[in-house]
Amino acid sequence: MPLLHKAAMNFLASASADSRRELQEFARAHASWLDDFALFMALKEEHGLVAWTRWPSDIAARQGEAMKRNKEELASAIEAQKFFQYVFFQQWQKLRAYGRARGIRIIGDLPIYVAHDSADVWANRQFFLLDERGTPLKIAGVPPDYFSATGQCWGNPIYDWPLLKQTGFQWWIERLRAALRLYDFIRIDHFRGFEAYWEVPGNETTAINGRWVKGPGAELFSVLRKELGDLPIIAENLGVITPEVEALRHEFRLPGMAILQFAFGNDPQAPTFKPHNYVRDLVAYTGTHDNDTVVGWWTSSGSGDSTRSAEDVTQEHAYARAYLGFKDDPIHWVLIRAIMSSVANTAIVPMQDLLGLGSQARMNLPGVPSGYWKWRMKPGAASEEIAARLKELATLYDR
């Protein structure tokens, strides 16, 4: 950040007229989110990065005089934030063009919820279930599942869906429009929450004491399709999936997901995750960012890292061996071959699985607030042998 601030100061002090005009044009084109975001981040820095609910009450509540005063006092910091985004978008679009020229498309992840300590919530308090201090009255999560016996308590504030509907879901239209400027496809995390979502009281620390509440359903997606055309969306349809959730997905022709790691155990969706039950309109994964790596999953005892018992693990392994027909082959390549040989339109393999890494390379453990999202691939880790084997499978199965 110090280097970025130095770059911003240099730019604002000495940029050419053409460069300044480009920045201004970028700011105008992205004003629907950039103005609030730049002010929010400038205020975060000014207040030592504490949550917005701990700022002075007048600016936390976005009162007119406080907003005007802070915009004037933090003008250079706000411009710096806009400069950061301007440079990022320039670099990102170059990367995206580089990929497109080589037939590579980018899938972006759009979680259904947003963070409480965000410009989204601070600038749009009316669209979230908050008390007068801005603290969430209701928070998001999921009931007890494969990952956690107490459920996942995410802490994100719940939307005021009736009010969003009254506005024609304009906030959601702009959110999706902004994402489509970055990505070719959008994977919507926790798609089932649009049909019904697990609502937890804001003062809870686990997700046990929640309830299912009906979401906006087809009304939202009808508006999104009308405004944005065909929706290049992948629906993350994992968890407690009902016929109503699948009906919503099918109505708008949104491909779902299949996770091969879940195909051999007690997961309620296990039958649909087996390759012989795949359909073409599907994205198949060995595992996602929320799973252990394939090697980690295969070598795990189950205790302490999931709701599986030792007996469950033994039965899971026996079933997988019988179903996939292997003995001592590397487990990650067995699962990679299984999804690539399937009829699923798209097969996705996390880099950790291509490299055959264990649990130490796990990307994320759902519901755990720190210690994850740190894995990086070292230069040269993807060997020519791995590339050749992947190319062979892609050729064999028309990938």
What residue segments make up the domains of the chain, in order of their start? Answer: 1-104
Q: Cite the DSSP H helix spans in the chain.
A: 2-14, 17-29, 31-46, 57-60, 64-73, 75-100, 119-123, 161-166, 170-180, 218-228, 243-251, 270-273, 294-299, 310-324, 331-340, 351-354, 384-396
Q: Give the position of tokens 């959730």.
A: 245
Contact 220, 172 (CB under 8 A): yes
Residue 159 DSSP label? B
pLDDT at 367 over 90: no
Confidence of residue 152 (pLDDT cuts 50, 70, 90): confident
- Convert the pLDDT of each residue in 80-138 to its tens digit: 999 999 999 999 999 999 999 999 999 999 999 999 999 999 999 999 999 999 999 99
Q: Which residues are catalytic?
A: 189, 236, 290
Residue 241 DSSP label? -
Contact 292, 352 (CB under 8 A): no
Q: Look at residue 266 in the predicted model and tell me its pLDDT.
A: 87
Q: Look at residue 147 in the predicted model and tell me its pLDDT.
A: 65
Residues forming beta bridges with residue 234, ordered by sequence position: 187
pLDDT at 19 over 70: yes
- Convert the pLDDT of each residue in 305-335 to its tens digit: 567 788 999 999 999 999 999 999 999 999 9
User: Average pLDDT of the chain?
Assistant: 95
- Convert the pLDDT of each residue in 207-249 to its tens digit: 999 999 999 999 999 999 999 999 999 999 988 899 999 999 9
Considering all CA atoms of the chain, what is the largest pairwise distance in Å, rounded to the nearest integer? Answer: 71
Confidence of residue 146 (pLDDT cuts 50, 70, 90): low
Q: In terms of pTM, does the model score above 0.85?
A: yes
Write out the E strands in the chain: 107-111, 138-142, 152-157, 185-189, 196-201, 211-214, 233-235, 256-259, 282-285, 346-348
